[in-house]
Amino acid sequence: VTARVLIVDDIPANVRLLEARLSAEYFDIQTAPSGLTALERCFAGGIDVVLLDVMMPGMDGFEVCRRLKSDPRTQHVPVLMVTALDQHSDRVRGLEVGADDFLSKPVDDVQLIARVRSLARLKQLTDELRARARTGGELSAESLMEASNDIDADNARILVIEPETRQARRLVELLGARHNLEVLADPGDAAATVASGDFELVLLGMALGEHDPLRIASQMRTMEQTRTLPIILIAEEVDRARVVRGLDLGINDFILRPIERSELLARVSTQVRRHRYGQALRDSLSNTLALAVTDELTGLYNRRYFDRHLSLMLEKARQQQREMAVLLIDMDYFKSINDSHGHDIGDSVLREFSLRLRRNIRGVDLPCRFGGEEFVVLMPDIDISRAEGVAERVRAAVAERPFPGQGQRDLNLTISVGLARNELADETPDSLLKRADVALYRAKREGRNRVVFDAA
Ligand code: GH3
Ligand code: MG
Ligand code: MG
């Protein structure tokens, strides 16, 4: 995960230190010397994680955090607060104003990277969820947006793997009021327990006798049901080297003993939220794909789905430097079919046409009803001569065989096709469709029942 991190601190030496460490991990860094500047940067957008010093002259970190979390533009931007060591009251206040996690000064490298990474992942998921809510079907947009605002981190089902009774009890004390904990004393049962239970988080002790916690974690990562299940290691300072290995293996985060309540709560909610967002995202994907994206009459994809995918595919084609094409298809003299045979026959012609269209394009092509008697096909990874071949095949499939009309009467129909490919350096959905439209217009003017390609 790469992300843009805003470092907020009034002391330039602190900023430089954090910047050097995070840049080495390929994070993209911005800096702000004061709370007010930080707010401006965040409201302008594009910040993924805020690393926020508490002690600053003028507006302090708490106030910055409070304002970020109460503004709809920034409430989803994770805030990592940097507090003085052993300032317990700072953390409690931090939680109250909505901080997502904490670091103490002097900042430890491993903790810094682990926290920023874990918050960057969370941000990536919320961004994706919000983007889907915006571009997804209207039906689900509202509920999705609601979902992304409503997803909290309470009442999570958490599995504690910890053979040492006293340690386990301590975790239950700290988290029991907000979450549902189940303690597993025998780590040998971990894989089976985790696979059969519906857990949202695993807290994994490091002292498991003959069992290796990292092996247990990597087992969970390889099993289908638990691949995305968040894992937090509960470690001692002496475990540091193994913690680093664990983070490389995909363990999400760690917390060092002695465990501080506010820190544990914050870290647990970050992981639970990430997990719940991920789940909502997967659900939304299957919902939007199934419900809101097809055209009722023809069963082809609808315009909204097409618009969304055209911009995604253009972007992908640009990144991979591949050619792609669009066909814009319009029925010739369709109005006269309606006029002389009625609207129902018109509808059945549209349905029959979409069957023929589907049969004559490639499996990877995306056929959509653009509106009325206009259709569009999105063709990834194709050069223009092959695209012309496909368009010609569709044209022939319409012109060469009559459509069934009322009674025994056959209807003869033709289509005109405009063809365009991605070829401008700054190609947009609009510029591409515009050329396809110009080509279609030419096809009509030059006598209909033909395919015309319009080069930029
Ligand atoms: P051209 O060759 O210039 O495209 O002529 P045209 O008659 O096809 O063009 P025009 O755009 O003027 O007419 C399109 C017609 O398509 C008008 C409308 O009645 C008909 N139409 C649009 N949507 C539907 C539909 O869902 N069902 C039916 N039956 N007809 C539709
Ligand atoms: Mg038309
Ligand atoms: Mg027409």
Q: Tell me how far apart the alpha carbons of residues 170 and 315 are, in angstroms, rounded to a whole number.
A: 51
Q: Ligand 1, atom 4: nearest CA belongs to which residue?
A: 332
Residue pair 77/47 in contact (Cβ under 8 Å)? The answer is yes
Question: What single DSSP character describes residue 455?
Answer: -
Ligand number with the minimum distance to the CA of 351: 1
Distance 102 CA to ligand 1 centre (A): 62
Query: 51 burial class (0-12, 13-18, 19+ CB within 10 angstroms)?
Result: buried
Q: Which residue puts its alpha carbon closest to atom 17 of ligand 1?
A: 335
pLDDT score recorded for residue 140:
46
Contacts of 309 (CB under 8 A, 6+ apart): 301, 366, 378
Q: Which residues carry out catalysis?
A: 373
Among candidates 148, 166, 234, 158, which has minimal Cα distance to 194? 158
pLDDT given for residue 137 in this prediction = 46
101 lines ligand 1 (CB under 6 A): no
Instruction: Give yes or no for residue 136 CB within 6 A of ligand 1.
Output: no
Cβ–ligand 1 distance for 19 under 6 Å, the answer no
> Quick one: pLDDT at residue 280?
76
Q: Select from 74, 82, 81 the least CA-distant residue to 41.
A: 74
Choice from 303, 339, 373 to test ligand 1 binding pocket (greatest atom count within 8 A of CB): 373
pLDDT at 228: 83
**10-residue averages of pLDDT along the chain (456 residues):** 91 96 94 97 95 95 94 89 81 85 90 91 78 52 51 90 96 96 95 90 96 94 84 94 89 91 90 84 61 81 86 86 95 96 94 95 88 94 94 97 88 97 94 97 98 92
253/240 Cα distance (integer angstroms): 12
**Whole-Å CA distances, 147 to 48, 129, 204, 275:** 20, 9, 29, 13
d(CA 219, CA 227): 9
The number of the ligand 1 atom at minimal distance from the alpha carbon of 336 is 7
Tokens of 314: 């253009």
pLDDT confidence of residue 346: 95
The rounded Å distance from CA 167 to ligand 2 centre is 72
Token pair 């302008």 is found at 44
In short, whether 370's Cβ falls inside 6 Å of ligand 1 is no
Q: Which atom of ligand 1 is nearest to the CA of 331?
A: 8
Is residue 353 in contact with ligand 1, taking CB distance under 6 Å?
no
CA 335 – ligand 1 centroid, Å:
5
Alpha-carbon distance values, 312 to 112, 133, 315, 320, 378 (Å) = 34, 16, 5, 12, 11
Is 343 near ligand 1, meaning CB less than 6 Å away? yes
Collect all residues with Cβ–Cβ distance below 8 Å to 177 and sequence separation of at least 6: none
